[in-house]
A and B are shown apart, each in its own frame.
Chain A
Amino acid sequence: MSLTPDQLRRIALLARIEVSDAEQRGVTERLNAVLGLIDQLQAVDTRGIEPMSHPLDGRLPVRQRLRADEVTEADRREAYQKGAPAAEKGLYLVPKVIE
């Protein structure tokens, strides 16, 4: 399977990654190489095998670690907002986005 230019544009948009016209060919080739690997995986007979959702899924006698319902985090807004490009009145500011 190989990607069409349309498919490439679509997944680039979904991932919010800008791919210039000059880059298109190279990116397509590299992604096609990845898809080739996936084709190899798809060819393996997996009948009767339960799908895993995690590398450790069912392999170790471990359960997902859970947290007791307690507030353990203090307010560190000031420190966090020092790293933000813009903040005002406690809000992070971003270019206007209205859906």
Chain B
Amino acid sequence: MAWEIVVGIESHTQLLTRSKMFSGAANAFGAAPNTQASAVDIALPGTLPVANLAAIEHAIRFGLAVQGRISARSVFARKNYFYPDLPKGYQISQYEIPIVQGGTVRFFVDKAEKSIRLTRAHLEEDAGKSLHENFTDLSGIDLNRAGTPLLEIVTEPELRGAKEAVAYARALHALVVWIGICDGNMQEGSFRCDANVSVRKIGDEELGTRCEIKNLNSFRFMEQAIEFEARRQIEILQDGGSIEQQTRLYDADRNETRPMRSKEDAQDYRYFPDPDLLPLVITEADIERIGASMPELPEQKRKRYAEKFDLPAYDVSLLTESREKANYFEQSLAAGFAAVTPKLAANWLNGEIASKMNDENLAFAALPVSPEGFAKLLSRVQDGTISQKAAKDVLTEMWAGQRDPDSVIAAKGLKQISDSGAIEKIVDEVLAANAKQVEDYRAGKEKAFNSLVGQVMKRSQGKANPAQVNETMRRKLAG
């Protein structure tokens, strides 16, 4: 029996603002407990919410970036439930009319481009935090996070499988960081996802009963959780059982999901329009003004790079992973080294630089090598001054703080030997000293050739121009 896994994702994106959604308290991470919880945030009687313009503008930016419809009139509603970290007894959210409706996010799975439709994106405030450690029969409540502006972004249930869901979530994460509405810090909870997972037999029209996995704060956990949950559901159905609609939690230590609450005690949030807040009106002029402040979007950049630089789609998708990376790429091409081709720069950025950054968990903002220095280094590869291999050593030195690749090349004696007379001399020496391998090669053993080239490289201390060595060797052996 073949099964299809159907996933919808809800993402809670913390909006990058100085102050909270409905109060003037600071919206910074990591402050001492309750020092950023104002009278509004702790729900003292008589306080009233006043919405943050920047949060609303961020939501509009998102709507524009995904080509959704920005509601001319949207409504804040109260979502009522009781929990100690929600002092008002309700969360201000949007229900019937969200600020953004529809939209599309494009992403790549195994180098193939896909897209997913969004249902909606709505503004809401976050709750506080309950802390259970350090207390025996008590919970400690920190309301610093209460009132933090969130944009909840909801997809249609149209993602197929864990891999696709994660690829979407990564692309969404990159997008909200790109347009500057979220800092993207998942350890600090700035971007958290819930996954709605159901399974059905391939060919079935109707969706299966879904379970919602809450609070996935890493892409790896998201993939594992969806995979586990889908397997769990398939096993139940294969044994003739049925799925109970549930909210579940993922336990990373055990790699399993387990029920949090089931449908019987499902919440009835009794939404109603918040009488403290008038409907939110957004005019065409507002949208136009915000649109004018938007950066070039990843998709627009991808299109431009593919056309202007004639780069493969996959290279382009890697270059546009982040705005910082794309900017670095553009700055290195604009640094005044005409020999540096887009393809060469792309290969190095997506290869050597990416792997070094990965090793050290660095962001582009913290990259120790400037785009100009990087371009100069590449130009030295392009004009034959150094080999690709030597360039990697130079890059390592530059990473450690050296600015000018030329002085590293001079200091380490990495300049490549491209003088044909000198190369010919070494090749002759190697051929004379290895009669057996020359014979082997002539008898058809290609391996012998590589060994001879290797010896030339060794004798030249790795400095001989490899292309020239190959060419000279072939010529001599043929002669």
Binding site for B on A (CB under 8 A): 14, 16, 53-57, 62-73, 75-77, 80-81, 86, 88-99
Contact = CB atoms under 8 A, between A and B. Distances in A.
Q: Which of B33, B53, B278 has the most CB of A within 10 A?
A: B278
Contact of A81 (B34, B130, B134): B34
Interface stretch (B16-24, B218-226, B388-396, B435-443): B16-24
Contacts of B80: 14
Interface of B: 17-19, 23-27, 32-39, 42, 44, 50-56, 75, 80, 82-84, 97, 130-132, 134-143, 260-261, 268, 270, 273, 275, 277-281
Query: Most chain-B CB neighbours within 10 Å: which of A53, A54, A81?
Result: A53
A67 B131 contact: no
Contacts of A70: 18-19, 24
B19 A71 contact: yes
B141 A75 contact: no
B273 A53 contact: yes
A80 B281 CA distance: 34
Contacts of A68: 53-54
Contacts of A94: 84, 138-139, 141
A64 B281 contact: yes
A99 B24 CA distance: 30
Given A56-B278, A71-B25, A77-B34, 13 more contacts: A54-B278, A55-B275, A66-B52, A67-B19, A67-B24, A67-B52, A71-B19, A76-B38, A92-B84, A94-B138, A96-B135, A96-B138, A98-B139
A66 B141 contact: no
Contacts, number: 128
A73 B50 CA distance: 13
A81 B62 CA distance: 38
A75 B35 contact: yes
A53 B36 contact: no
Contacts of A72: 19, 24
A73 B23 contact: yes
Q: Is the interface of B mostly helix, strand, loop or mixed?
A: loop
A70 B17 CA distance: 9
A32 B138 CA distance: 39
B75 A53 contact: yes
Contact of A67 (B36, B50, B83): B50
A73 B143 contact: no
B279 A57 contact: yes
Contacts of B142: 90-91
Contacts of B18: 69-71
A17 B162 CA distance: 43
A92 B136 CA distance: 14
18 contacts: A54-B278, A54-B279, A64-B278, A64-B280, A66-B56, A67-B53, A68-B53, A69-B18, A70-B24, A73-B19, A76-B39, A77-B34, A80-B34, A90-B142, A92-B143, A95-B139, A96-B139, A97-B130
Contacts of A96: 132, 135-139
Nearest first, the 8 A-B pairs at minimum CB distance are: A72-B24, A91-B140, A69-B54, A53-B273, A90-B33, A73-B38, A64-B278, A92-B141
Contacts of B84: 92, 94, 97
A90 B34 contact: yes
Contact of B138 (A54, A81, A86): A86
Nearest to A79: B39
Given A75-B35, A96-B138, A97-B130, A54 B275 contact: yes
A74 to B, nearest CB: 9
A72 B268 CA distance: 35
A64 B36 contact: no
Contacts of B50: 65-67
A13 B108 CA distance: 47
B135 A71 contact: no
A89 B32 CA distance: 9
A77 B24 contact: no
Nearest to B75: A53
B52 A69 contact: yes
A93 B273 contact: no
Contact of A71 (B26, B51, B83, B141): B26
A90 B131 CA distance: 12
